[in-house]
Chain A
């Protein structure tokens, strides 16, 4: 035992005994990520204790997942922007502008110009396509001014924050646009905007298959080049824990059932006679959460497995080295903003769909939550450091704090104070750990 704890890290990755350190080493897990998961667990248990068990209920956790989705989606893009030593303060206004435009397309333009009703099935496709395209254009434009115009991103996006919000008020004139296309509404979640139990299980099983495949493929690749691989027990442990976590999440989402009134409505509409005690319909994973997971997966792939992502990190680590390495730094920076625009559009879909309306204040102050999520998730303003899963977890931590305090009837100013203190403390603690680790 004592020998194992003092032993230097072995190149072969084989555990020398069963001390915690060697076990962790063999598992090759990201300790920072584990620390964040641990912190989240503490927060959850804390609120559960204080609220008398009201926090860790399927209903609350399901709500938490939906509430985190929109911020988490944008936080994945904010990571790349902060990693490359920039900032985007305009995401909230951009989201509002894009959400308003998509609502306008459904409610005004298509019905008035083409004379088609917003009920038509294809309306949502057009609205979302317009939103994504416009998001990409706005983002690219912002990025162009930053990288080719040489104006600092802080200034350009501060301007964007004002401009996009101003434009909403100019062409909305205080109007709220509603209702929206029924299919479009599903992206906001709610009992109807969820997968239900069968599809949730299928998604869960697919995720498990993905985990197992990734582990096997990774092992095979290491074998091919003769690199040391994790011991088999470690691979199995990672696989089992990963799959268990996925299936547990699905089980919780399915444990949250439709509210009684809605279930009764559904039963009547479909001519089902309600059993005594009411019809039980499992909600399953909400569609915005599925969107968020999809975005997280794609963004992780982009960040870690594509040239573009590698360049973003290289620029953040050493812009001169990136330039001398032949990387087109300006274009890469511009593209991070293009991506941010697209992600703001996706979040705009989620938020407007959830409200089933576009309001002029949509997305106000979202930029602060998004930046906070990325930073709590371990993204460093010094550049070059930050992960997509970390940012998603950061968004969940932020939302957990807010929703927990809401459950405890903490008033909104106090909530802000707590979130502010936690943000600074988390980053302070993180940089302390980093300094100590060298």
Chain B
């Protein structure tokens, strides 16, 4: 949890996150910055991303209602919830895929306006969408550089330079990747995923959003993505991992934010809670302190 009292005073952010205190005053002391192995010195700094009190509605349906989450450099935050919990909608406001009706987004403490994907990318926010968002008829390099093509002085596309860059980033991500000339339509699920990831990491992302990154992958490819997340984290990139399945993100996450029906249930430090407690948050919307042993037992029945 970022919204610690000492933190706001340290950094002189008046009015910092009163909403959270309102929402869950008793929970706060329980989730101070971790002191265990997962503790990070960065916790005392300004968060890399802060999304405050975000509201999104689609034609009267409130998809996201007053949700606040944050992310530090070198940290992985798992954003979990069932289908329709609003996690993808929330995070798409950060990607620029659609805009929030109200709320504030701060990057390194500075309020920013993200109106479209270009704005997000300019701020170093890269997204790997669940659908991968690849143009099937274009080759790997064309997709990696989609919207950010390299060109010569006269403005002609420099396909050779783009292919060379793609080969080099692929060499790091998926050394067995060979099909640089074919449209990505003909690639396997894992290879397509590699292309989507290459696009996100090639441009020196500071903030990476991965929406269900392993949903369509086999065990070997999933392991590859996990290694990558660990590696990127060590490089100081902040990562939002979105999943409907806690098992996908539990091991990788430092903190986990749980959403239910468009609202944030809570954000917890992973090392302080059990998987079952998170499951209770996802399914029943009950925070770890509120849930009874009987209820936890019922989860497994």
Contact = CB atoms under 8 A, between A and B. Distances in A.
Contacts of B133: 318, 320-321, 324-325
B131 A320 contact: yes
Interface of A: 11, 221-222, 224-227, 301, 304-307, 310-311, 313-314, 316-318, 320-327, 384-385, 438
Given A227-B160, A321-B132, 11 more contacts: A221-B160, A227-B163, A301-B156, A307-B155, A307-B157, A310-B157, A322-B147, A323-B97, A323-B117, A327-B147, A384-B135
A221 B156 CA distance: 14
Nearest to B97: A324
Given A11-B178, A324-B127, A326-B121, A306 B155 contact: yes
Interface stretch (B1-9, B49-57, B77-85, B136-144): B136-144
26 contacts: A11-B178, A224-B160, A225-B161, A225-B163, A305-B157, A306-B155, A307-B151, A310-B142, A310-B146, A310-B149, A311-B147, A313-B135, A314-B135, A316-B137, A317-B136, A317-B138, A321-B132, A321-B133, A321-B134, A322-B146, A323-B97, A325-B117, A325-B148, A326-B116, A326-B117, A326-B121
A384 B136 contact: yes
A225 B118 contact: no
B274 interface: no
Given A227-B160, A227-B163, A316-B137, A321 B146 contact: yes
Nearest to B186: A438
Nearest to A315: B135
Contacts of A318: 133-136
Contacts of A301: 156
A304 B131 CA distance: 26
Interface string B105-137: 000000000001110010000010101111111
Contacts of A304: 157
Contacts of A322: 135, 146-147
A304 B155 CA distance: 12
A374 B128 CA distance: 35
- Scoring A221, A226, A321 by chain B CB atoms within 10 A of each residue's CB, the highest score goes to A321
A317 B135 CA distance: 5
The 10 closest A-B pairs by CB, nearest first: A325-B147, A317-B135, A384-B137, A317-B137, A326-B147, A325-B146, A326-B118, A321-B133, A314-B135, A225-B164
A325 B137 CA distance: 15
Given A305-B157, A310-B157, A324 B129 contact: yes
B95 A324 contact: yes
Contacts of A326: 116-118, 121, 147-148
B205 to A, nearest CB: 14
B137 A385 contact: yes
A384 B121 CA distance: 25
A222 B132 CA distance: 29
Nearest to B120: A326
Contacts of B149: 307, 310
Contacts of A224: 160
- Per DSSP, chain A at the interface is helix
Contacts of B138: 310, 313-314, 317
A330 to B, nearest CB: 11
Interface of B: 95, 97, 116-118, 121, 127, 129, 131-138, 142-143, 146-149, 151, 155-157, 160-161, 163-164, 178, 183, 186
- Per DSSP, chain B at the interface is loop
B135 A321 contact: yes
A11 B182 CA distance: 12
Nearest to A226: B164
A156 to B, nearest CB: 25
Contact of A222 (B116, B136, B137, B160): B160
A309 to B, nearest CB: 8
Contacts of A311: 147
Contacts of B117: 323-326
Contacts of B161: 225
Contact of A313 (B97, B137, B178, B186): B137
Contact of A225 (B143, B157, B160): B160
Contacts of A438: 186
Contacts of B131: 320-321
Contacts of A317: 135-138, 183
A222 B163 CA distance: 10
Contacts of B135: 313-314, 317-318, 321-322, 325, 384
- Scoring A307, A316, A326, A327 by chain B CB atoms within 10 A of each residue's CB, the highest score goes to A326
A11 B177 CA distance: 12
Contacts of B146: 310, 314, 321-322, 325, 327
Contacts of A306: 155-157
A314 B139 CA distance: 10
Nearest to A320: B133
A314 B146 CA distance: 8
B156 to A, nearest CB: 5
A167 to B, nearest CB: 37
A76 B134 CA distance: 26
Nearest to B116: A326
B240 to A, nearest CB: 16
A273 to B, nearest CB: 52
A305 to B, nearest CB: 5
A398 B156 CA distance: 33
Contacts of B136: 317-318, 384
- Scoring A222, A301, A304, A317 by chain B CB atoms within 10 A of each residue's CB, the highest score goes to A317
A306 B142 CA distance: 12
Nearest to A307: B149
Nearest to A438: B186
A304 to B, nearest CB: 8
Contacts of A313: 135, 137-138
A438 B161 CA distance: 29
A27 to B, nearest CB: 14
Contact of A305 (B116, B156, B163, B164): B156
Contacts of A11: 178
Nearest to B151: A307
B235 to A, nearest CB: 23
A128 B160 CA distance: 38
A173 B180 CA distance: 59
A79 to B, nearest CB: 13
- Scoring B135, B146, B155, B164 by chain A CB atoms within 10 A of each residue's CB, the highest score goes to B135
A307 B155 CA distance: 8
B80 to A, nearest CB: 23
- Scoring A307, A314, A318 by chain B CB atoms within 10 A of each residue's CB, the highest score goes to A318
